Amino acid sequence: MGLELLVDPDLFALCKECGDAAGVDLTRLLTEADEDELRLTENAQPALCFTSIALARVLGRGGVHPVAVAGHSVGEYAALAVAGSMSAADAVAAVRHRGLVMADAVPAGTTSMAAVLGLDPPTVEAVLEGVSDVWPANYNTPTQTVIGGRIEALEIAEDLLKRSGARKVIRLNVSAAFHTPLMVSAAANLKTYLDGMNWSAPQVPVIANLTARPYEGVVDLTATLEKQLFSPVRWANSVRMMGELGCDGFLELGPRRALTGMMRELAPNAFAAAIATPEGCIELEMSAK
């Protein structure tokens, strides 16, 4: 992940700076770590955050700048860094800490998440009302909701959702039930850490996962990010808000194509592309010219 980015001396130096701030050998993680190591929340989050920020910097060199930004879950920290609310190093350090406290919030192997395809959110919510310890975690599209909770309860919910007409229920390869009440203790720890950071008002609108609305200055940044950890990601409404702000093109910056496919349902008339490498940035800039 990010190997092509580190060929650039400036981005290599940025990676070293971010890794030092986070207390992790980020360069090694990006170039040498195996899948099992990289999948650990405390490693995956800083790696993803740095990669997104670095790609945004490459695009910026070519004159591609955002009108508004949003990030799905941990991506919100990269979005805030791109918008100038915090430094890249602070963002990577924050998500490293976030990953550690999330990993400690529940015993390993006791919770998970699943994507529910083919049901609308009200139907999913109605089914979950009858199951304890499972909650909606991501409202991704009108027909895709991610749920999370304790594994025993999750298995019951998956069966009930299939019986209620879900086209598919896919268990996700994640280490815990993020964006559920099981993360409340982690969120309190995270808030203390975030309150000690240096923050600035975003230079462009940043759409918050929690509210699907732009952050308003510096005041609500840390409180919103605290609640984000144990509240659903309202991605469908976030994309709708960016459309209301005038966005008619969307670039997904990261190592994999995770969100772009959703745009066919969320904004079918908008341009959408996933950018994972510097070469992808260059191709986009050339096509725009």
Find tokens 């040498």 and name the residue. Answer: 32
Q: How far apart are CA 48 and CA 76, in angstroms?
A: 11
Q: Which residues are catalytic?
A: 73, 179
Burial class for 32, CB neighbours closer than 10 Å (0-12, 13-18, 19+): exposed
Burial class for 108, CB neighbours closer than 10 Å (0-12, 13-18, 19+): exposed
Which region holds residue 165: left if phi is over 0, alpha if psi is between -120 and 50, else beta? left
Q: How far apart are CA 1 and CA 16, in angstroms?
A: 15
Q: How far apart are CA 17 and CA 11, in angstroms?
A: 10
